Amino acid sequence: MQFDYDLFVIGGGSGGVRAARIAAGEHGARVGLAEEYRMGGTCVIRGCVPKKLMVFASSFAGALEDARRYGWEVASGGFDWPAFRTRLDAELDRLEAAYRAGLDAAGVTVHDSRAVLVDAHRVRLDSGETVSAKHILVATGGSPDLPEAALAAGALSSNDIFKLDALPKRVLIVGGGFIACEFACVLNGMGAEVTQYYRGEQILRGFDGEARGHIAEQMREAGISLHLGTDVIGLRRGAGGTDVASTDGHERRFDAVIYATGRRPNTAGLGLEPLGVKLGRKGEIVVDEWSQSAVPSIYAVGDVTNRINLTPVAIREGHAFADTVFGARPRKADHDLVPSAVFTQPEFGTVGLTEEAAREAGPIEIYATAFRPMQSAFARRPDRAMMKLVVCSETRRVLGCHIVAPGAGELIQLAAIAIKMGATKEDFDRTVAVHPTMSEELVTLRKPLRTA
Residues serving a catalytic function are 435
- Is residue 299 a contact point for ligand NDP (CB under 6 A)? no
Q: Is 412 in the site for ligand NDP (CB under 6 A)?
A: no
For ligand NDP, the closer CB: 159 or 395: 159
Query: Among residues 387 and 408, whose Cβ is nearest to ligand NDP?
Result: 408
Q: Please give the Cα distance from 333 to 315 (Å, whole number).
A: 9
The Cα–Cα gap between 95 and 311 comes to: 15
Measured from the CB atom, the residue of 180 and 226 that comes closer to ligand NDP is 180
Kindly state whether residue 183 participates in binding ligand NDP, applying the rule CB under 6 A: no
**Burial degree of 444 (CB within 10 A; 0-12, 13-18, 19+):** middle
260 versus 389: smaller Cβ distance to ligand NDP: 260
Asked if 229 interacts with ligand NDP (CB under 6 A), we say: no
Least distance between ligand NDP and beta carbon 373 (Å):
21
* Residue 180 binds ligand NDP, judged by CB under 6 A: yes
Under rule CB under 6 A, residue 318 binds ligand NDP: no
* Closest approach of ligand NDP to the CB of residue 155, in Å: 11
CA distance 192 to 187: 6
Distance CA 425, CA 198 (A): 36
Say how many residues touch ligand NDP, by CB under 6 A. Answer: 24
The yes or no reply on residue 178 touching ligand NDP (CB under 6 A) is: yes
What lies within 8 Å, CB to CB, of 435 at 6+ separation is none
31 binding ligand NDP? (CB under 6 A): no
174 contacts ligand NDP (rule: CB under 6 A):
yes
Comparison of 16 and 47: residue with beta carbon closer to ligand NDP: 47
Give the interface segment with ligand NDP, choosing from 162-170, 216-224, 254-262, 361-369 (CB under 6 A). Answer: 254-262
Closest CB to ligand NDP among residues 25, 147: 147
Name which of 208 and 441 has its Cβ closer to ligand NDP. Answer: 208
Strand order in the sheet with 398-404: 340-342, 348-352, 398-404, 385-392, 364-371, 450-451
Name which of residues 334 to 363 contact ligand NDP (CB under 6 A). Answer: 340-343
Residues 41-80 that bind ligand NDP (CB under 6 A): none
Is 261 among the residues that bind ligand NDP (CB under 6 A)? Answer: yes
Query: Minimum CB separation from ligand NDP for residue 243, in Å?
Result: 18
CA distance 107 to 31: 8
CB of 269 to ligand NDP, least distance (A): 21
Instruction: Decide if 343 contacts 58 (C-beta within 8 A).
Output: no
- Contact segment (CB under 6 A) with ligand NDP among 88-96, 173-181, 187-195, 441-449 equals 173-181
Binding-site string for ligand NDP from residue 133 to residue 162, where x marks contact by CB under 6 A and - marks none: --------------x---------------
Q: Which is nearer to ligand NDP, 18 or 46 (CB)?
A: 46
CB of 177 to ligand NDP, least distance (A): 2
Give me the residue whose beta carbon is nearest to ligand NDP: 177
Site residues (vs ligand NDP, CB under 6 A) = 147, 174-180, 182, 198-200, 205, 231, 260-263, 309-310, 340-343
